[in-house]
């Protein structure tokens, strides 16, 4: 993103990427620089395509809230706030709220809810949950569908063709400078191959 800004003088409005890039750090980075959130998070496919997973009542994000705002499990047990937990390696100081069930003893739903021997504990990051909701709405919009389609055609299709059709699966040179040179040459060759195919098709259709 920073290199894009150095070249074009601005940040892209709609950065699209694979699910591995949809992290808390990257979403806040997008907010800082005026970019919309269209990067999938890790469980995006299950959230958007698997109703059984999305609506699972035993997921902490689906717990109802009591009068005091604390989570309440499907069996009506209250979860009490224990402490804030810092998430390691987080540039923006992300923390999670840790809650513990008041009592899981004798609960007939425990087999479906938790595998812990004692009371179930859950971690909640309300800000990240809200961000995931925003991302789902963005990606499910017409704009999001177009961006996802273009990514699969323009980016993933190109990489797949280079790896499968052209058998280029790894860099053969070492060192950043030489790897950049190698990939630049591969990209030029790929573009010439596309150009040749296009001119051939035009000649055949003429």
User: What is the C-alpha separation between 96 and 127, in angstroms, rounded?
Assistant: 10
Average confidence (pLDDT) per 10 residues, the chain, 206 residues: 94 88 91 94 89 93 91 95 85 87 93 91 91 93 90 78 86 94 93 92 86
Q: Which residues contact 26 (CB under 8 A, 6 or more apart)?
A: 39
**Cβ–Cβ < 8 Å for 98, 71:** no
CB 45 within 8 A of CB 23: no
Which residue has tokens 């469980």? 43
CA gyration radius, the chain: 24
State the pLDDT at residue 113: 93
Strands, E assignment, 23-134:
64-65, 71-72, 79-86, 95-101, 121-124
Q: What is the pTM for the complete model shown? A: 0.71
| Residue 5: per-residue pLDDT | 95
Give me the pLDDT at residue 137, please.
94
Pick the closest to residue 105 from 75, 83, 127 (CA basis): 75
The conformation of residue 87, written as its DSSP 8-state character, comes to: P
Q: List, as own/partner pairs, every contact residues 46-52 make where C-beta atoms lie below 8 angstroms and the sequence separation is at least 24, other chains included.
A: 47/132, 47/136, 48/136, 48/139, 48/140
Query: Which two tokens mark 66?
Result: 């009591």
């Amino acid at each position: 993103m920073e290199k894009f800004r150095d070249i074009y003088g601005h940040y892209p409005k709609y950065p699209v990427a694979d699910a591995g890039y949809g992290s808390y750090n990257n979403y806040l980075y997008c907010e800082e620089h005026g970019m919309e959130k269209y990067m999938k998070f890790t469980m995006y496919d299950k959230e958007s395509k698997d109703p059984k997973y999305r609506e699972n009542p035993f997921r902490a994000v689906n717990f109802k809230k009591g009068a005091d705002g604390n989570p309440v499990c499907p069996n009506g047990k209250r979860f009490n706030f224990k402490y804030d937990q810092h998430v390691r390696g987080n540039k923006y100081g992300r923390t999670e709220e840790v809650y513990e069930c008041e009592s899981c003893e004798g609960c007939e739903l425990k087999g479906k809810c938790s595998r812990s021997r004692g009371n179930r504990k859950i971690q909640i990051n309300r800000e990240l949950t809200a961000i995931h909701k925003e991302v789902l709405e963005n990606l499910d919009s017409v704009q999001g569908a177009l961006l996802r389609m273009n990514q699969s055609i323009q980016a993933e299709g190109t990489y797949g063709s280079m790896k499968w059709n052209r058998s280029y699966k790894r860099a053969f040179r070492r060192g950043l400078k030489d790897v950049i040179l190698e990939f630049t040459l591969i990209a030029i060759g790929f573009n010439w191959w596309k150009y040749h195919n296009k001119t051939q098709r035009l000649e055949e259709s003429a």
